Each structure stands twice: as C-alpha cells, then as structure tokens.
A and B are shown apart, each in its own frame.
Chain A
Amino acid sequence: MPAGNSTVNDFVVRFANVNGTGSASANFLFTKSIFRMGIPVTPKNIFPSNIQGLPTWYEVRVSEKGYLGRREGIDLMVCVNPQSMMQDVNNVKEGGYFLYDSTKKLHDEFIRSDINYIGIPLMEMCNREFTDPRQRQLFKNIIYVGALCALLDIEVAVFEDLFKEQFKGKEKLVAPNMKALQMGIDYTKEHFKCPLPIRVERRNLLKDAIMTDGNSACGLGAVYGGATVVAWYPITPSTSVAEAFNDYAEEYRVDPQTGKKNFAIVQAEDELAAMGMVIGAGWNGARAFTATSGPGVSLMNEFLGLAYFAEVPAVLIDVQRAGPSTGMPTRVQQSDIMEAAYASHGDTKHILVIPSTPKECFDMTAEALDLAEQLQTPVMVMTDLDLGMNDHVSPPFEWDDNRIYHRGKVLTADYLENMPRFGRYLDVDGDGIPYRTYPGTHPTKGAFFTRGTSRDEYAVYTEDAAAYKRNMDRLVLKWETAKKMVPAPEVYQHKNHQGNGMLFYGTSKYAAEEAMELLKEDGIHLDAIRIKSFPFNHTVEQFIATHDKIFVVEQNRDAQMRSLLMIELGISPEKLVPVLNYDGMPITADAIMKGIKNNLVNKVKEGQLS
C-alpha cells in the first residue's frame, strides 16, 4: 500500500453516485456531521441536467483553515457508480483513497499502484440485511457513510443526533438507519486500519454559523423584505428560490384566523410573463420579484427596458449558470454580468447587487426590494448556481425588528389634495428620483399614464427633443444617486498601497480569499476589493486609482466585470489583468494563484515589475 497523505481536517472527499438513488441525503448527512464537529466544510454538487440514471458527484472539502472554495485533487473517492468508475479512479490524488463496492471484484483496469483501495461489500451487506428494494438502495448509502465515520473518525453520537432530528415524528426510522451506519462502521473497523491518516478532529470553529443554500436564503430574504407578489418560470438553477419563498411564506404569511395568504405566487407561462407580472405589481404598489437564470434574463430584456424607462420598481434574482444559450444548465458561471447591467435596447443601465454568502443572499434580496422602490427601477440580485444550489457555511441570518421598509417617494391622498399639479417625472428634489402615485389613491389628483414611449415631466406623451433629452439626463442623475445607495464593497487592506490589487465578486470570494493567504506565503501581498454592486461607487474608483495593477478575478470567458470597469470608470485596459475560470466548475484558489503568478513572473522576465 502506498503511503497515505496525512492530514487532520484538511482533505477533499468526492462521492460518485447515480442521480435519483437517494444519495443526496446520505451525502448531506456526511457534510452535516463534519459541520456539527465545528470544522469548516464546503460541499459542491456536480450534477447532470437529468432526473435519473446519470452520474452525479458530490464533493466535500474539509478545511480547518476555513478555506471554503473548491480545491482540486480528491483525497478520498467514494465510488458507488460503475458508470463513472474509470474517471473516478483517475481523479484520485496520488497517495489517496478509493472506496468502492467490493461485492464484485474490481477489474484490473481500475487498479492504480499509487492509491489505496478500500473495498466494502455494500450491496452484499444490504441484500443480506434488508429485503425491501428501496431500503436496500437507501441503506447502501448509509453503510458507506458508516464506513467514512470509521475511516475519518467522525463522532458516532453526531450521526445519532442527526438521525433523530431528521426523523422527528418518524422515530421508527432512527433505529434501522443507526443499524446500517453501524454495519458500515463495524465492517470497516474489522477490515481496515482506522482511522486513516486523513481524518477529522472536533474543533468547534464554526460558532454560530449556519449551513444553508443561497436560493433558500433569497426566498427567505424576500419574505422578510416584504415581497407580496412573486411570478416565476421554472429554470435551473433558480427554481428553488421561488419554491423557498413559497415554503417560507406558507409558514409565516398565512393568516391563522382566515387561512388566507398574505402573498400571491404565480408560476407564469414564460419568463416574459413573469417579468410582466412583477412590473404590473410594482407599478401598483406591491413589492414583487421574479427569479430566473441567464436564458430568462435574455427573454426579460424588453420588460427590463420598460421598467427602466417608465421607472417601475422590480426585483429579479438571477441565479447565473454556464452560458451561452442553454449552455451547461447545471454548471456555474458569472456570465450574465454584461447582459444584466445593460439589459434591453436603447440607453439602459441597471442596478446589480452581488451576494457571496447565504447571509448576503438574504440581506441583499431584502435590500433589493428597498432599492427598487427607492430608485423606481429594476434591481437584479446576481447570485449563481454554486451559491444558490450548494450548501454553504454562512454567518447566521439577522433581522432588526426596528428596520422599516423604505417604500420610496410615493404620494398619499392627503399630500396630493394639497399640492399643485402633480408631475410624475418632475425632479423635485434634484436627485433624479421623481415622485409617484399608486393607482386608486385620489379621486381627482395623481392619475398619470405610464408608458414606454417618451413623455414630459407630467407624463404626457411627447416627441419633443428637449423634453426627451431632459428625461434621459435625469435618469443619469438618478444613476449617480444610486451610487451612494447600493451596497459598498468590502476592502481587504494588506498595506500594499501603490502595488498590486485583486478585485473579485460573488462566489469567487472563497477561492480569492484563500489565494490571497497562500500568495502571502510566496511573498506576494495583494490588497483586494470585493465588489457588491453596480454602479460602482467611489470606493471602487479609489481602490483602482490607488493601485498600479488590478487582477480582476471572474468566472466567465470574456472578463465581463473588467469590461464594465473599463466602460463605466474609464480605466485603461492594461491596468486590469483578467484572471478567469469558465469551465463551469467553481473557481479554485489554485487557478487564481496560477493566473496571478504567471502574470507577475512574465512581467519580471519583461523587466516591468518594479
């Protein structure tokens, strides 16, 4: 046997399953057990665009240092899918471990001399112990979790707690699950030296952190943020946002007396209709949102232009996936940035907020509902598949009960009664944001005609050049106002003024923070900034201005955020060095370090590095 790589709380386990076999809950159980031991852990689902029968992987990184991005190199492969076995064998790191179902003998072609094999007769054990075919399937999964419990030294009591919680009200199920777990533990301990050199140790590092996915957090944020109308069309990976909203709203928003709902959710006929409904509701004074992905945003473009020009609040949660076109629907990318920022024909610009954690998904969705009404324009929450569909360790959700909903400049009947002529598009306050009225407010005052055509300050149709231009210029002024209202970036100062900086956003945060730390070990110190919104505010401008070179880390091919920075801030292209990952897998610290080092080393060769 080759020497195993020895580490505590620092390894990657990958599960190779067949989708539709119930493996997801067993795999999550494994992740949760490590989470419960207080060790930073990050799971990634690598799944096919399919319902049943195709290979699916679940990758779990355990990192005492708290590195929560993906890492290349599999230390332990749990292979229960013969379809993908060749690929799975090859993916194991030298010195790593390959756990497989030894009910059938492993073929010679799967034998590598530089890795360790752990054969557990999963099928045989299951068939001997359980008769029901569905049980056989499910308990096979629990047996391999039991094997991991022994191999990695996970506390058995943690599993017992997890089963008890999972089967609350169905206590009968706890015992057979514990039995299957124990079968895995016993067999493994009997046949292999346990624990392995890679193993876990309780640390209690996670304090009050929670583990959840970004889509649930967005749905919850919309409930807390006061959304009452939701319209959506099913599309991976955003579907679970609407579903989460519905679930939470059914729990928190149903009148206990009447059983009536204080929300309305409609599955629309397509994304166009979904956006239309959001705009209709926003126009009529309800907080409304939709959730979609790139293809949906493409379809919603016309409506986004209408909402921009007619100044109607709307919130869109874009859970980005790999494009273009249908692309890779179950893989991640940050490739909707350009399309979202300038969605629709004509001169348009849209507010984007970009979360990195489930907590930020919650906060920013609620905040987007405020911003949309305050600025009377669409606001897009630019999350992605990795954040949306994978579980993440996150700071807990917080809500200040004194917080109020900022509904923006809306005139009441009393106010209208005492005012002279109401001008819907009149810039009274000099910030570019006009006042609006909801339909039905006042019998004789405040009614106006909303349209996508040009109009004057009083909402009267016009083709007058000066009036059109005044309106377009006011929208720019409003954009300037927005810069002071959108979430500010997070700045990482490493006392490297005038030197190199790194800029990133969204789920690149995890790998970027790790890369920053690891680069320090190589003597490369980078300041960094995490962008949380568009338009870019003054801090972003300052950061770029005060550094010589900025590495712009993104998960798309065309360096879209870099283009936005160049366009909106007039930054010279030479100053912004793209560091890109666009293969559909979450970006790794390794990839970022390579990109940065390549550039710095090459520049040294060219004699350009001071």
Chain B
Amino acid sequence: MTYVRPKFRHPELKKNKLGYTLSYYEGALSTLCAGCGHDSISAGIVQACYDLDIEPHKVAKLSGIGCSSKTPAYFLSNSHGFNSVHGRMPSVATGANLANRELKYIGISGDGDTASIGMGQFVHVIRRNLNMLYIVMNNGCYGLTKGQDSATADEGSKNKTGHVNLFQSIDLASLAIELGATFVAQSFSGDKKQLVPLIKAAMKHQGFAFINVISPCVTFNNNVGSTKSYDYVREHVEATGTVDFVPAMKEITADYAEGNTEHVVLHDGSMIELHKLAQGWDPHNRISAMNAVHHAKSKGEILTGLLYMEHESKDLHDMLGTTGKALNTLGKDVLCPGSAKLKELNASLR
C-alpha cells in the first residue's frame, strides 16, 4: 500500500530560487519500518535537491530491488522513477543516461543489490564513469526477506537472531576507490549534517559519484553485537573532515585556519569547502584515500566524509564522443542516411 502524504503546507514556507518549497521535492509516504535509516537518506536527497534548485523533472531516479530500492518512491515525486530488477540498476541507468545526457541520474541501491547480485554491474558502471550519483543504503542485511546477512556484514557481526557472520565483508567504498571511481564518499544515515553536503557535491560532480551510507536496519540488524547498529556506528565513526557545499557565484566569506581548509572547484563553478581532520590524507590521491580508509578500518573505525575525488573526469559520453544533444531528441533528418546513400551502398554490394 502506498500512502499519500497530506498536501497541505503552511503558505509561508520558504521557497528556493525556482519557487518550490521543500515539500515539492518530497515523495509518497514511506512504507519502510519506523526509524529506518533509509528514510533519513531520502530526506537528505530531498534537502539537497531543494538547496541546489534542481528541477525535479530533470532528475531520473533508478533502483534495483530491496528495501533501499523502494525509496525512490519516497522522494522527488515529480521525477520519473524506475524500480528495475535486482542488481541491475546500473545497466538501466547507463542506457537511460546514454539516451538523454541532460538529466541528472540518481541511482539507489542496497548492500544486497550492489555487493552481491549486482556486483558485476556495479564494477562496470564505475569503469565507465557514468555521470550519476550512486547511493548504497548499506545496512549489512537483507531487510525485505527478514534479515539474512549480506556481503557487507562484518565478520563476527551478530544479527537479531544471534547468528554470527562467518565471512569477510566487502568494503564498497574502498572497492570503488580501487576501481577508479571519480568521486567516493562514505557517510552515516544518522548524520544529516555530513550527508546533505556530500549529496550536493556528488550531484554536482561530473562523472560517477558514489556514496556508501551506513544505514542501520532497525528491525533486523540494530542489536548488540551488530557492527551496523546505530549505537555501534555512532561510536565508531571517524570523519575525514567536514564538507560544506558552496553554490556557484557565491562569494566565500568564511575564514578558516590556513592549511586545514581546501576549496575544491566543481565543473559548474560551485565549490566544496573541505575542512580536513584526517592526518596525511589527500582526497585527490587515490593511494592516500585508500590508505586512510584502511588505516581507520584497522583501528575498528568507519571513515566517513569525502574520501576521494577527481577535479576533472571524462564521463561515458566524453569517452564515446557522443553528441552534446540528448540522443532521444534527434530526429530522422539526423539519424537516417536516406535513400540516395542506400543506392550507393547497393551498388557496392553487386
């Protein structure tokens, strides 16, 4: 059952530059469990799109199968959505993006949808540097089938039934860095302050932007002994730094201590202000980023924040050399070579 959110809003609600209120960016009422981390991430996407003055209909949201993959119904109801098949969102997003490069693409996946059944497509969408935001709502379990371990569950982590996971976990953020993703961040659904600017930066990034969000499953994996519970994650989060998003054209007035702040200019002129906390970490150096993630891990910590990004990256369209226009707008005049060419071709086949 899908619930319809009440439409009534206070008439004096703040509006963004497009004249839309925050509520305009919301979706249907969530049917996920009360307290589910995923809903906070949906709220983060709503906030980010509102803040960035994005036209909702210029966004396409895609997902696979699972609790996380249901969430595109719960944000941006004025965007087209595509809830595809399990583990295959990346390929559908690739085709969609090829068809129309002018939209923004948000892909939502889960740890089962990405790290197990969808691992192949995840790996290859990174290779192609598809221009999209890819969020994994990572809770270490299969919520929709009642709590089985997923491939991101940590070795030794205990779930609600007391079952202890025997296997090594797959660390999606380090994998993404290793595979050449051009924007990689990690966050926690309980930390909206960090998550929203990361989503904004990721949406402005030209190329594949990946955010692995630890998002506890309140129903099946929020118990003592789980390494994906709210309590455990809160206690073990270590941030690379804080991130602020500065829209294009805005004068930077804030004053930060020299050496700790970096301004990363994005392709449209907007900026990320990065206040570094992690020592010896360079977000533009893949090896350094990898070291930082592994270093934190060795201490039993989860490193969050921006982990790695490239200033300039060639996305799939750049690599393929496709036209700047959306392919879905091209007409017969451009697409069809016509009968005269066909006559020439026939002659060459005789």
Say yes or no: is B346 at the interface (Cβ < 8 Å to chain A).
yes
B-binding segment of A39-47, A267-275, A500-508, A534-542: A267-275
Known A286-B327, A450-B83; judge A399-B98 contact (CB<8 A): no
The CA of A400 and the CA of B124, in the complex, are separated in Å by: 40
Q: Which of B2, B58, B92, B345 has most A Cβ within 10 Å?
A: B92
Decide: A262 and B85 in contact? CB cutoff 8 A: no
Chain B residues with CB under 8 Å of A231's CB are 91, 94-95
| CB contact under 8 A between A444 and B78, given known A210-B350, A449-B83, A452-B83 | yes
What residue in chain B is nearest A265 (Cβ atoms)? B320
- A259, A269, A278, A463 — most chain B CB neighbours (10 Å): A269
Q: Is the CB of B91 within 8 A of A268?
A: yes
- Residue pair A276, B55 in contact (C-beta under 8 Å): no
Smallest CB gap from B103: residue in A = A440
Contact of B60 among A226, A398, A439, A444 (CB under 8 A): A439
Q: Which 6 A-B pairs have the closest CB atoms?
A: A280-B95, A276-B91, A286-B99, A277-B95, A439-B80, A285-B328
Q: Does A443 contact B (CB under 8 A)?
A: yes
User: A229 near B327 (CB under 8 angstroms)?
Assistant: yes
Task: Report A-chain residues with C-beta under 8 Å of the C-beta of B103.
Answer: 284, 439-440
- Which chain A positions have C-beta within 8 A of B337? 223-224, 248, 252-253
Contact among A208, A281, A441, A452 with B96 in the assembled complex (CB-CB below 8 Å): A281
Question: At the interface, yes or no: B72 with Cβ under 8 Å from chain A?
Answer: yes
Is A278 in contact with B95, judged by CB distance below 8 angstroms?
yes
- Contact indicator A461/B2 (Cβ below 8 Å): yes
Residue of B at shortest CB range from A451? B83
Contact across chains for B332 and A285 when beta carbons are under 8 A apart: no
Known contacts A277-B95, A278-B95, A447-B78, A397 near B346 by CB under 8 Å: yes
B317 at the interface (CB under 8 A from A): yes
Please tell me if the beta carbons of B73 and A461 are within 8 angstroms of each other in the complex.
yes
Q: How far is the CB of A407 from chain B (nearest CB, A)?
A: 10
Q: Which residues of B contact A404 (CB under 8 A)?
A: 332
The size of the chain A interface, using a CB distance under 8 A, is: 76
A35 and B349 CA atoms in complex are apart in Å by: 11
Instruction: Give the complex CA separation of A460 and B83 in angstroms.
Output: 12
**In the complex, what distance in Å separates the CA atom of A284 from the CA atom of B80?**
10
Q: How far is the CA of A452 from the CA of B102 in the complex (A)?
A: 26
Query: When chains A and B are docked, how far (Å) is the Cα of A366 from the Cα of B206?
Result: 35
A residues apposed to B, CB below 8 Å: 35-36, 208-212, 220, 223-224, 226, 228-229, 231, 248, 252-253, 255, 258-266, 268-270, 272-286, 288, 302-303, 306, 396-401, 404-405, 437-444, 446-453, 460-461, 463
- How long is the Cα–Cα vector from A441 to B337 in the complex, in angstroms? 28
Complex Cα spacing A228 to B95, Å = 10
Tell whether A398 pairs with B342 under 8 Å between CB atoms, given A272-B88, A280-B82, A285-B328: yes
Q: Given A210-B349, A277-B95, A447-B77 in contact, is the A263-B327 Cβ separation under 8 Å?
A: yes
Task: Output the residue of A36, A253, A272, A277 with the most chain B CB within 10 A.
Answer: A277
- As a 0/1 sequence over residues 66 to 110 of chain B, the CB contacts with chain A under 8 angstroms (1 = contact) are 000000110001111111110010111111111110110000000
Residue of A nearest to B121 (CB): A273
Q: For the complex, give the distance between the alpha carbons of A264 and B115 in Å.
A: 28
B96 to chain A, nearest CB (A): 4
Q: Is the CB of A224 within 8 A of B342?
A: yes
Give the CA-CA distance A266 to B334 in the complex, in Å.
Answer: 20
CB distance from B185 to the nearest CB of A (A): 25
Q: Is the CB of A260 within 8 A of B78?
A: no
Write the nearest CB–CB distance from A555 to chain B, whole angstroms. 26
B95 touches A229 (CB 8 A): yes
Cβ–Cβ contact A284 & B328, under 8 A: yes
Kindly list chain A residues whose C-beta atoms are within 8 Å of the C-beta of B341.
Answer: 252
Asked if B314 lies at the interface with its beta carbon under 8 angstroms from chain A, I say: no
CB distance from B331 to the nearest CB of A (A): 8
Closest Cβ of chain B: how far from A406's Cβ, in Å? 11
A402 and chain B: residue at smallest CB distance: B339
Which residues of chain B have C-beta atoms less than 8 A from A260's C-beta? Answer: 321-324
Q: Say which residue of A226, A266, A444 sits within 8 Å of B94 (CB atoms).
A: A266
Most buried by A among B91, B93, B346: B91
